[in-house]
């Protein structure tokens, strides 16, 4: 059996008001991962889980992607909506991640609402696990999911960032 060559991606770093963002894109400029620099080990684990061996080359993401990220953090809460993303994951995870992208900026949904939105109202825990395995934070807005009573629940980038992102989007709209 021949070993598959590693997936080749570009690793960009963009400064934001809440820390440096790591932005991983493929040769076509499609976003494969986005996370905060202090969560780089998590991002690397997710990339390895989804793609196997990866080769990250420092560089810049395509300008439209960089511009979208900068515009989002600059106050345009909808700047990320059209950015192309590709996520490996299971079919269920991809279904959850697609549903996340349908949550409008400045709004939140509970895990139960998200489960109902994908037609699986009893899969609340599985939706939570898929949400936590999202490799493309912010663009696939897992920060917009809250507890059933509206409380802040876990966020891979930290609850303070989650609060900031939600307040940032609310203020921008």
Angstrom distance (rounded) from CA 52 to CA 118: 28
Where along the chain do its domains lie?
Answer: 7-74, 91-172
Q: Tell me which fold the domain 7-74 belongs to.
A: Double Stranded RNA Binding Domain (3.30.160)
pLDDT value at residue 157? 86
Q: How many CB atoms lie within 10 A of CB 35?
A: 24
CA distance 22 to 36: 6
The rounded distance, in Å, linking the Cα atoms of 114 and 122 is: 11
80 has pLDDT over 70: yes
Give the count of beta carbons closer than 10 Å to the beta carbon of residue 160: 11
Q: Which helix (H) or strand (E) holds 131?
A: helix 124-132
Topology given in CATH for the domain delimited by 91-172: Arc Repressor Mutant, subunit A (1.10.10)
- Catalytic-labelled residue, pool 21, 100, 130, 142: 142
Is the model's pTM score more than 0.85?
Answer: yes
**Cα 54 from chain centre:** 18
Q: Tell me the per-residue pLDDT of 143-169, one tens digit each, with 9 for 90 and over.
A: 999 998 888 888 888 899 999 999 999
> CA-to-CA distance for 173 and 160, rounded, in angstroms?
20
**Residue 168 is a catalytic residue:** no
Mean pLDDT of the chain: 94
Per DSSP (E only), the strands in 88-138 are: 109-110
Strand, coil or helix: what is 114? helix
């Amino acid at each position: 059996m021949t070993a598959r060559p590693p997936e080749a991606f570009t690793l960009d770093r963009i400064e934001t008001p809440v820390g440096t963002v790591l932005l991983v894109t493929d040769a076509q400029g499609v976003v494969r991962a986005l996370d905060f620099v202090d969560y780089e080990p998590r991002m690397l684990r997710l990339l390895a889980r989804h793609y196997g061996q990866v080769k990250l080359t420092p560089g810049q993401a395509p300008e439209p992607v960089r511009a979208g990220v900068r515009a989002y953090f600059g106050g345009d809460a909808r700047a990320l909506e059209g950015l192309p993303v590709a996520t490996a994951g299971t079919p269920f995870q991809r279904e959850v991640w697609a549903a996340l992208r349908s949550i409008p900026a400045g709004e939140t949904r509970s895990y139960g609402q998200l489960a109902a939105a994908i037609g699986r109202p009893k899969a609340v825990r599985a939706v939570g696990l898929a949400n936590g395995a999202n490799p493309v934070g912010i663009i696939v807005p897992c920060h917009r999911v809250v507890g059933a009573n509206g409380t802040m629940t876990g966020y891979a980038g930290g609850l303070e960032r989650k609060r900031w992102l939600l307040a940032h989007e609310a203020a921008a709209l």
